[in-house]
Structure 1
Amino acid sequence: MEKNKSIDHQLRATWQAVAKMYNEQAAKHNSTMATAFVLLNIDFEDGTPSTALGPLMGMEPTSLSRLLKTMEDKKMIFRKKNPNDGRSVIIKLTDYGKEMREVSKGHVYQFNNEVRKHITDEELENFFKVTRTINQLITDKLIYGDDINKKAV
């Protein structure tokens, strides 16, 4: 199969381009795309339980812990005991974190608005339908199933 006609190649190449673009913008603010993603996933007012952040973002706990430590060192976030569960903490934004969250949000809006200028609503809806379908096929294990003995690609 030609790589230009391979669905996974197009997804990967596009995501790599988007990630590179966002990282270039984040670097202008001494940050990273991963940091911006965390900032955007923390509730602006109430904060977010640390245990909820990983699943929200699809990150492994070790990677997330390292990233949260860096963000705490940069004074973007702080940790507060969870009043509803003494075993966990709430990650809250500092004033600086809120400011950086708004910067990140601005970049996301700019990207989305620019893309929307170049594609129709119908094309966008088709794109969302295709990505939902791919995600559902993967979630339902309809592509490879649970057979771990199958050959790797």
Structure 2
Amino acid sequence: MKEKTIDYILRATWQAIARMYNEEASKYGATMSIGFALLSIDKEKGIPSTALGPQMGMEPTSLTRTLKSMEEKGLIVRKKNPVDGRGVIIHLTKLGKEKRELSKNTVLKFNDIIKQHVSQEKMDHFVEVAEVINHLIAEKKIYTTEEVETKIE
């Protein structure tokens, strides 16, 4: 049998996790993106709309759609930034805080179940490998502009 590539394993695993979270969220009329947004918004202070997208790693159009849906469901309200009137701070409503707690419990349950089936040593290795991958990507040590230019010529 052919060995699976690292990116295949990561992509297939993430897709399975996303499907699982979306199935769970759908029971509450939500999506994984909504749950992730709820967890990314500070319960007390809110978050500037410009900071939410980068924090979640979401494209602006997807974030806009998610926030519109959250607003329609009564999970968030947008308020002018008191420091910078041009900006908007996104705050959780009472319902948003309740759904945030539900999202938090869902994520914690996932973590607990995985930790029941994977030793701490293996978890430490998994985290270490993920950190190495992220570091190599962030430092552009996998594909460099020079390599691309050289190969095109």
Give the structure 2 partner of residue 93 of structure 1: 92
* CA–CA distance in structure 2, aligned partners of residues 137 and 40 of structure 1: 27
CA displacement at 1:29 relative to structure 2: 0.3
Secondary structure in 2 matching 1:79: strand
Matched, 1:75 2:112: no
Secondary structure in 2 matching 1:91: strand
* CA–CA distance in structure 2, aligned partners of residues 103 and 16 of structure 1: 21
Q: Which amino acid is the alignment partner of residue 93 of structure 1?
A: L
CA displacement at 1:83 relative to structure 2: 1.1
Q: Deviations over 1:107-149 (max 9, x none)?
A: 0010000000011111111101100100111111111112555
Give the structure 1 partner of residue 112 of structure 2: 113
Matched, 1:103 2:117: no
Q: Which amino acid is the alignment partner of residue 38 of structure 1?
A: A
CA displacement at 1:5 relative to structure 2: 2.7
Q: Deviations over 1:46-68 (max 9, x none)?
A: 10110100110001112111111
- Structure 1: give runs of 5+ residues left out of the alignment: none
1:3-82 to structure 2, matched below 5 A, reads 4-82=3-81
Alignment TM-score, normalising by the size of structure 1: 0.93
- Structure 2: give runs of 5+ residues left out of the alignment: none
Q: RMSD of the TM alignment (CA)?
A: 1.5
Q: Deviations over 1:59-96 (max 9, x none)?
A: 11121111111110111000011111111110000011
Give the structure 2 partner of residue 130 of structure 1: 129
* CA–CA distance in structure 2, aligned partners of residues 146 and 139 of structure 1: 14
Runs of 4+ in 1 over 6 A off after TM superposition: none
Q: Which amino acid is the alignment partner of residue 143 of structure 1?
A: I
Deviates further, 43-52 or 141-150: 141-150
Q: Which amino acid is the alignment partner of residue 93 of structure 2?
A: T
Alignment TM-score, normalising by the size of structure 2: 0.93
Alignment: residue pair count? 150
Secondary structure in 2 matching 1:132: helix
Secondary structure in 1 matching 2:89: strand
CA displacement at 1:101 relative to structure 2: 0.6
* CA–CA distance in structure 1, aligned partners of residues 88 and 56 of structure 2: 17
